[in-house]
Amino acid sequence: MNRTSRLWPLVAGALILVAVWVGPLAVRAASSFAAHMIMHMAVVALAAPLLAVGLARAFPAATNRIPAGVAIVASFAEFAIVWGWHAPAPHDLARTDAFVFAVEQTSFLLAGLIVWLSALGAAGATQLRSRAAGVVALLVTSMHMTLLGALLLMSPRTLYACAEICSPLATMTPLADQQAGGVIMLIVGGSAYLVGGLACLASILNDTSARPA
């Protein structure tokens, strides 16, 4: 496998970030919670894992030396970052202030990248404990993404002042816009990390079953 074919995830991840942050979606995100959530999921569930795979292929030795505990710590750090930015005041500020919005998006990318990169490093380790840490980190992240998505979906009222101040998509009420964002997080965010965790778990089981008794 040549270098270009090995590093295509790195290029793909970078292109997704350009499309999300420079394209029309960024403009729409100021007036739609669902569009804002699409940006978030594109960053943490598409771009971040692709960039992590590309970096792991480019620097396998460095990635495999990431301590096992980093994956667990990173998963809880992402929990704090994601839930923190979805608290009403920070979220409304990110929707109305360009600088805060840039800080929010950068923190989403860094948190997601560290989780995926540390999980991949754990998956490439030889010790079972290290590889299990990567599985736990991805599954914990999947659970809190699913929980937050369900909260946004089932809330009987809008949680953000910007739902009323900002103009939502013309065909959607503010509550429906929020519920659509919850569905996107629940399905995309929950599924991406779940699939990643199960893939890492499958690699452990396959290696274990392949060992001679």
Q: Which of 33, 40, 38 has the alpha carbon at shortest distance from 168?
A: 33
Q: Which of 168, 178, 197 has the alpha carbon at shortest distance from 88?
A: 178
Residue found by looking up tokens 């599924």 in the block = 191
Alpha-carbon span 96 to 118, nearest angstrom:
33
Mean pLDDT of the chain: 87
How confident is the model at residue 58, as a pLDDT?
87
pLDDT over 60 (residue 6)? yes
Alpha-carbon span 79 to 92, nearest angstrom:
19
Phi, psi of 130 (to 5 degrees): -65, -45
Alpha-carbon span 114 to 202, nearest angstrom:
21
Higher local confidence (pLDDT), 95 or 64: 95
3-state SS class at 7: coil
Q: Quick count: other Cβ atoms within 10 Å of Cβ 29?
A: 23
CB 116 within 8 A of CB 142: no
Helix-then-strand count for the chain, H and E: 13, 0
Higher local confidence (pLDDT), 40 or 211: 40
Q: What number of CA atoms fall less than 13 Å from residue 100's CA on the CB side?
A: 11
How confident is the model at residue 170, as a pLDDT?
54
- Residues in CB range of 180: below 8 A, 6 or more apart: 33, 34, 37, 172
pLDDT over 50 (residue 213)? no
pLDDT tens per residue across span 150-177: 999 999 998 988 766 666 555 688 899 9
Confidence of residue 148 (pLDDT cuts 50, 70, 90): very high
How confident is the model at residue 209, as a pLDDT?
46
Rounded mean pLDDT of 5-31?
A: 90
How confident is the model at residue 210, as a pLDDT?
40
Q: Which of 132, 121, 126 has the alpha carbon at shortest distance from 59?
A: 121
Confidence of residue 134 (pLDDT cuts 50, 70, 90): confident
Ordered DSSP codes for 56-106: HHHSHHHHHTS-HHHHHHHHHHHHHHHHHHTSHHHHHHHHH-HHHHHHHHH
How confident is the model at residue 82, as a pLDDT?
96
Confidence of residue 132 (pLDDT cuts 50, 70, 90): confident
pLDDT tens per residue across span 169-201: 556 888 999 999 999 999 999 999 999 999 888
